[in-house]
Chain A
Amino acid sequence: MTKSLGRAEKLSSSAGSVVFDADVLVLGGGPAGAWAAISAAEHGARVVLADKGFCGTSGATAAAGTGVWYVDPSPERREAAMASREKLGGYLQDRRWMARVLDRTYAQSNQLADWGYPYPSDDDGRPQRNSLQGPEYMRLMRKRTKQAGVTILDHSPALELLVDGNGVVAGATGLRRQKGDRWVVNAKAVVIATGGCAFLSKTLGSNVLTGDGYLLAAEAGAEFTSMEFSNAYAISPAFGSVTKTLFYSWASFTDEQGSVIPGASSKGGRSVIARALRKGPVYAQLDEADAETQRHMRLSQPNFFLPFDRTGIDPFRQRFPITLRLEGTVRGTGGLRIIDDGCATTVPGLYAAGDAATRELICGGFTGGGSHNAAWAMSSGYWAGQGAAEFARQLGTTIGRQAFRRGTVGLRSGSGRALQGGPLARSVQDEVFPYELNYFREAGRLGGSLRRLDALWTDASDADAPDEEELLRAREAAAMLATARWMYRSALARQESRGMHRRDDYPEPDDRYRHLVTTGGLDDVWTSARPLASSQFSEAAE
């Protein structure tokens, strides 16, 4: 590793905008973005990180606690870790990527320990590194990002990518919400680490995750994969935001009358809960947790208890109403398609990390939960930062390079009718929240939904840019809309049930679909099938 050559340069700060010159621009300041920024700086790049909110509190991790797919490097343990979820994921994972993510996660976690993350020890004094407390972890990551010499722009959502005449990504531009002006970062490579899309469902910490990075990447021509694996729903108290599905494995689930709902379970029985919620309220009570488990829960996840302690509910002794909140692609496995070990996308100069990128490589078609996503954020963040820094170095000087704005929907003018983000976001939610559309899929219902979504897209792309105040909301809603269309188009293309994707009309897995579904496009959304890497290798060997 080389030492960072210096900071990104602030070129000008005229009225209305601030301009930076950098080697690598990272969009998103959750774990993946922070790891990417640190890695790019360690590999010699001058780095700017722009976060929509505040790097340190933004994203699904900061507000929560997460497991980490941290596995001791003994061959038996690694083998067991890789094998354990292959069936659940529909055998779409890639063993080579699983092995390298396990290696990289092990290294990054130990790096966190060296940086002073307060990992606990077990009763025998052995350190335990398979869990992270979100606020603690992300506070440390912000500190290390700053120490690496990265320039952090908080409250600075990106609006669109800049691309040069050869189609190479050349930076991005966005808003500085608290300053009321714009930023421009001219960069030689850009890392998209903006997370997935949870459609403003208020699942914990996820309302900043509206697929913004997908939209601006798609406008530059990027492709997506596994977007049909996008219908994860998490259990939360009906009134609250705290989703910690793990703890509900100690729960019993009952209906209005107090009768146990047969088959309802947080694992392997969540669809039963979804069906029951369509008929009436569902209640949970963590009555299977003994006193010791209760104590461990309180120490491990203090925020889980905030909704209960503040409403006077004892979740171990009293029933409380629950709901399922859509986690979309945050806990799905789809995202930007990456094409090499440095997490490059199909667009030159554009890299992807964390939940913004596909996690099909280690999860296949079923979420590995926070554990795999956290491991992926560390690993893909590290690789994307390295890949982007390397790309920037090879590009050499870019003095005099012209850059063009690639933004489309919500950024143009001409029709005299401004795009309204609030109503559009609600219209998209109406298509992706209902269990009968998204959890339980079927050709007729998916087709009807897509017709409505396509009409919304036509309408949105004809509309004008709204006022500066409403611009972010409009782009967020447009990103949600684009995401929903990639999801459902991919869901229609996969005429089987596999991983988390369930089709009422094709309830079983079908070997003819043991491939990956690529998607993309904005006005015209397309899909195509791609063979698994393993089958390509076996064909090549024949």
Chain B
Amino acid sequence: MIQVIDAERCTACDICVNVCPTNVFDKSDGIPVIARQGDCQTCFLCELYCPEDALFVSPFADAPQAIDVAALKEAALLGSYRRAVGWVEESRHLRAADRSFRLFGH
């Protein structure tokens, strides 16, 4: 579930508030807040839409986890999903890299 909105990176654009399908975030006077963490369905889409790589969704779907944000940055895990699907300039070619046609019918 969603664990981190990194205050250093977040620009309060509120895109995550808008795109979250289960309405987990609330706007605030500053950066958004994780208002309903228990409603998070661990779909990773807020991360994908965050233009600043400021969000981190823990893969643990059922329970909150303690997260070391410095370690995430160290391991380049913030924004890793965006890079993997080609939603950043340097990996745009990955948008058309789907090789499912080689996997079907196994």
Contact = CB atoms under 8 A, between A and B. Distances in A.
B45 interface: yes
A130 B104 contact: yes
Contact of B21 (A54, A239, A301): A54
B87 to A, nearest CB: 8
A178 B23 CA distance: 8
B37 interface: no
A372 B106 CA distance: 17
Contacts of B100: 65, 67, 128, 130-131, 296, 300-301
A177 interface: yes
Nearest to B96: A118
A307 interface: yes
B45 A67 contact: no
Interface in B47-106: 48-49, 57-62, 77, 80-81, 84-85, 87, 94-104, 106
Given A133-B85, A135-B48, A239-B62, A300 B18 contact: no
A57 B21 contact: yes
A105 to B, nearest CB: 15
Contacts of B77: 309-310
B43 interface: yes
Contact of B59 (A63, A178, A239, A249): A239
A240 B59 CA distance: 6
A205 B46 CA distance: 12
Given A202-B42, A307-B59, A302 B99 contact: no
A225 to B, nearest CB: 28
Nearest to B57: A306
A273 interface: no
A206 interface: yes
Nearest to A422: B38
B35 to A, nearest CB: 11
B19 A57 contact: yes
Q: State the majority secondary structure of interface residues on A.
A: loop
A60 B106 CA distance: 23
Nearest to B18: A54
A202 B41 contact: yes
Interface residues of B, number: 39
Interface in A30-78: 52-54, 56-59, 62-63, 65, 67
A378 B77 CA distance: 35
Interface residues of A, number: 58
A500 to B, nearest CB: 20
Contacts of A346: none
Nearest to B103: A296
A144 interface: no
Nearest to A303: B44
A120 B94 CA distance: 10
A57 B41 contact: no
Contacts of B58: 310
Contacts of B60: 239-240
Contact of B22 (A204, A208, A239, A302): A208
A538 interface: no
Contacts of B59: 237, 239-242, 306-308, 310-311
Nearest to B17: A178
Interface string A124-144: 000010110101100000000
Contacts of A305: 84
Interface in A96-135: 118-122, 128, 130-131, 133, 135
A295 B22 CA distance: 32
Contact of B49 (A57, A155, A207, A241): A57
B33 interface: no
A11 interface: no
Contact of A136 (B18, B23, B85): B85
Contacts of B101: 120, 122, 128, 130-131
A67 B21 CA distance: 22
A63 B96 contact: no
Nearest to B106: A249
A506 interface: no
A206 B80 contact: no
| Chain A CB within 10 Å, residue with most, of B20, B42, B61 | B61
B18 A63 contact: no
Contacts of A59: 21
B99 A120 contact: yes
A250 interface: yes
A249 to B, nearest CB: 5
Interface string A294-325: 01111111110111111100000000000000
A272 B93 CA distance: 41
B20 A57 contact: yes
Given A239-B59, A246-B103, A293-B103, A131 B23 contact: no
Contacts of A301: 100
B85 A240 contact: no
B98 A204 contact: no
Contacts of A67: 100, 104
7 contacts: A119-B96, A122-B101, A130-B104, A178-B23, A202-B42, A306-B44, A306-B57
Given A118-B96, A130-B100, 15 more contacts: A57-B45, A57-B49, A63-B43, A63-B45, A67-B100, A130-B101, A131-B98, A131-B101, A178-B23, A202-B42, A207-B39, A241-B42, A247-B103, A306-B57, A308-B59
Interface of A: 52-54, 56-59, 62-63, 65, 67, 118-122, 128, 130-131, 133, 135-136, 154-155, 177-178, 202, 204-208, 237, 239-242, 246-247, 249-250, 293, 295-303, 305-311
